[in-house]
Structure 1
Amino acid sequence: MSTVGLDIPLARSSLLTCDCICFDVDSTVITEEGINVLADFLGKGEEVSAWTANAMGGNVKFEDALEARLGLIKPSKPSILTCLQKHPFQLSPGVQTFIQTLHSKSVDVWLVSGGFRIMIEPIAAVLNIPKSNILANNILHNEAGEYIGFDPEEPTSRDLGKRAALEHIKSLKGHENIVMIGDGATDAQAKPPASAFIGYGGVQDREKVRGKADWFVYDFEEATKILEERK
């Protein structure tokens, strides 16, 4: 199964004319939920996974789920770095080619995530996305590297945060046609200001998200083919 069409003409025209595409990271750019991987590594996987599922399904406010999950695992900076070293993330099939094609077409690419900057920066480096094009949450540590909280000023730390993040990008860069791609309810909330929302179900197929998507894809191959038509 490749795609489910709800408004394919809109999604197609958006891909052909967009000046910016924003990607969710967990279960979209990569095949896992970063916070779940970290929780498993720290022995809190089951409890945290339940909170993640509720947040991504739109059943609980994102900020409540974020605070609860971080409170359960209290990740120190050394533990995060060790987790990343022992469990490098895997890119979703076809996403690297899709992003390379976006770059070749001079489309501005951003990673907009409710995950954590410290875990996303290595992924961005592989995809040739600058750190300045990441909007994500910052975990706060003291001088000893112990967990002390998270930055509540980041737009992605709260409900409707991705909408606020895209509004920031739009005002910062002057983009007129932004497309949001992701697997969760928080990604669907980004339209508007996104002109189109493309749901991704290659890792998690969520019925609520599928119902809100202009186009729902299970891989990035067809999107890449459309993008290749751009002049």
Structure 2
Amino acid sequence: MNGLEKNIINRKVSKLPSPGECREIWRSTDAVCFDVDSTVIIDEGLDQLASFCGKADEVKKLTVQAMQGGMEFRTALRARLDLLQPKLSTIQKFTRSNLPKLTKDIDRLVAALQARDVDVYLVSGGFRSLIAPVAKMLNIPLENIFANRLKFFFDGEYGGFDETQLTSRSGGKAEVISWLKKREGYSSVVMIGDGATDMEACPPADAFIGFGGNIVREAVRDTATWFVYDFATLINELESED
């Protein structure tokens, strides 16, 4: 566990609702925010893009170095993108030839939530251009995506990323949820994800559900008061109330 994760975990232990409270909130929530990489989809989008660009090893090494050093999220993101330098044409080719691999039962879960008039959001430190196809596959409105935006120069060359986006910085997911609660007046919001930064968003999220269906982050598994390994568990919990 790196220093950043330890700090997040230490802050979370006393603030997460109990298992019973989590389940009660889950069954009655107004909105659910899903992390995307390794949660809604099987893979990590930036890693897949790096592999497509032939720079998988370099980006992975940089990611590990950043995590071990507790580097701020935006700094780590900038470093990896500076290494990739993805052009607009590269992004377009990647999204056309690499359909997202949805995690089993996520489509059923999203449909079940929407049938209950629960608003569903995708909140990610990844990139909107890579996440939009995921939203379309799940019938989630594109305006319900909160993610980073790549920038390009007029000739299509890489021009950086929009650093005004909340998700471009550490703690950004919590800021998104606070903003949503104020704008929409939700009485409760649930955050679901595999990482420490997802757990960090509770509070202001009213409950956090750790997800280990694709990868198990030990720090999250050992701290989350409700940790699941598949989405069928969450569907069954919804149906148990009906």
Distance 2:186 2:69 in 1: 28
The residue number in structure 1 matching 2:6 is: none
Which residue number in structure 2 is paired with residue 85 of structure 1?
Answer: 96
Tell me how far 1:60 sits from its aligned partner: 3.0
Q: Does 1:105 align with 2:116?
A: yes
Equivalent position of 1:28 in the other structure: 39
Q: Partner of 1:191: helix, strand, or coil?
A: coil
What does 1:105-144 correspond to in 2, within 5 Å?
105-144=116-155
Percent identity of equivalent pairs: 45
Q: Residue in 1 aligned with 2:75?
A: 64
Please list the CA deviations of residues 34-77 of structure 1 after superposition, one character each: whole Å capped at 9, or x if unmatched.
00000011111112224445667894321121111111101111
Partner residue in 2 for 1:203? 214
- CA gap of 1:58–1:128, structure 2 versus 1, over 3 A, is farther
Q: How many residues were matched structurally?
A: 226
Q: Distance in 1 between matches of 2:190 and 2:62?
A: 27
8 A contact 1:16–1:229 mirrored in 2: no
Work out whether residues 188 and 212 of structure 1, in 8 Å CA contact, stay in contact via their aligned partners in 2. no
Distance in 2 separating the partners of 1:125 and 1:49: 28
Q: Paired residue for 1:227?
A: 238
TM normalised by structure 1 equals 0.92
Where 1:110 maps in the other structure, the secondary structure is strand
Equivalent residue of 1:113, what SS? strand
Give the RMSD, CA atoms, in angstroms. Answer: 1.8
Using the alignment, how far apart are the partners of 1:17 and 1:36 within structure 2? 35
Q: Which moved more, 1:49-58 or 1:74-83?
A: 49-58
Spell out the pairing of 1:32-51 with structure 2 (5 A cutoff): 32-51=43-62
TM-score by length of 2: 0.88
1:8 aligns with 2:23: no
Identify the residue that residue 3 of structure 1 maps to in structure 2.
none
C-alpha separation between the residues in 1 aligned to 2:216 and 2:68? 10
What amino acid maps onto 1:189 in structure 2? Answer: E
5+ long unaligned stretches in structure 1: 1-5
**Partner Cα distance (2:137, 2:128) in 1:** 14
Tell me the amino acid that sits aligned with residue 33 of structure 2: C
Question: Does residue 162 in structure 1 map to residue 173 in structure 2?
Answer: yes
